[in-house]
Amino acid sequence: MLALLRLLLIALLVSACSSTATRQEVALQPAPAVLQALARGVNLPIWFTYRGRPGIDPARWYPDAEDWRLIKALGFRHVRVQFDPAYFRDPIRPGSLQPSRLADLKTALAPAWTHGLVVVLAAEPEGPEKLRLLKDEAGVGELLAFWRAFAGALSAVPPEQLVFELLNEPTETDAVSNRLLMRRLVEAARSAAPRRTLVVEGHRYSGPDELLAFEPLALPNLIYSFHFYEPHTFTHQGAFWGWPMFMKFSQLPYPSSPQALAPLVEPVDVDARPHLISYGDQRWDRARIDARLQAVRDWAAATGVAVWCGEFGVSRLGPPLDSRRRWLADVRASLEDRQIGWTLFDYTGHFGLTTGLAGARQLDPLDAAALNLPMPIRPMAQ
């Protein structure tokens, strides 16, 4: 009888511990409404980055009323807007913000909320400012002060309408140092906006491997973001930024195989040939993409955190369009099969779902089909 009582007591203790662990795991997760909104979205870059710079055409990059209608009609549930913190800082008073620019931001985002879209504001300092974060504690202090002020200034926006991404692609080369920085940024933003969902991400350029190296923070209401552009040889071909070799890649197909790449190797510059051969030998296809994203899903399941693909896409500058669409379809389906929300990069840039200027934007219907988006009844202006 005593042995039976001991067994019953042990069972009750195990059950209690299991219930506590389950409650803790649930408490760590963001609100279901936020996670549902992050299921599918689109990036709006260079809207609040490089603001007012010569050569930045607002008609190219700034959404208008017709764009908001299209974004909603396509079934997107959120938009991700990168912004430069320096644009909002008060140059005279450290730690303060410029009220007029904050007002402009709220006005600019109002149509997104009118259309029922969640907004993710992603901090994207310019390159030199990011480098300061790696070697200058004063630079880190400025970013922490910014988030305290910025989070407070937008605290009236309901938590289910606005998410903060604390630092896009940190470039920090060390996972441990990046984790410490992310924790400090979370604490700074939470001090002014305790209920706001926050996004953190891995070191370097926030790829899957960087996410897998991130030891989760024991803090609630966080989303762990990663970006997926694999393989870069394919997705960035023709790009004139980043690695100069990208400009030497053109018309590389997807899926890849030695046979598919063989005719393209000889015509390219000698220094580009090994990269084409490697891309063919790696045999990138849906199965390889599945394996990469399954590692992310397994990591999320093991750690009990929420993950989200904040960027994925293919340049329009170099790949064959049919290959671009096959890659988009495979990555989108693979993410959805693993219940990982995604945000296309981007809406109207060099990776764009649309082309042309505001008021005459052209939607690519085959890209939309690859993403399994509903086609709007009313077409864009011709």
144-151 average pLDDT score: 97
Confidence of residue 227 (pLDDT cuts 50, 70, 90): very high
Distance of CA 60 to the CA centre of its chain: 21
DSSP secondary structure string for all residues of 36-83: HHTTEEEE--SSBSSTT-TT--HHHHS--HHHHHHHHHTT--EEEEEE
Q: Which residues contact 262 (CB under 8 A, 6 or more apart)?
A: 280
1-5, 90-94, 104-108, 146-150: least confidently modelled range: 1-5
Q: What is the mean pLDDT of the chain?
A: 91
Record the tokens describing residue 295, joined without a space.
């590692």
71-81 average pLDDT score: 98
Q: Residue 314 pLDDT > 90, yes or no?
A: yes
44-65 average pLDDT score: 94
CB 282 within 8 A of CB 231: yes
For the chain, percent of residues with pLDDT exceeding 90? 86
Which pLDDT value is given to residue 378? 54
Which pLDDT value is given to residue 166? 98
Cα distances from 367 to residues 268, 338, 355, 372, in angstroms, run 28, 21, 12, 9
Which pLDDT value is given to residue 212? 98
188-193 average pLDDT score: 97
Task: Map out the domains of the chain with their CATH numbers.
Answer: 30-230+285-370 (3.20.20.80)
Predicted model pTM: 0.91
Q: Residue 346 pLDDT > 90, yes or no?
A: yes
Record the tokens describing residue 333, joined without a space.
């389906």
CB 335 within 8 A of CB 367: no
Q: Residue 15 pLDDT > 60, yes or no?
A: no
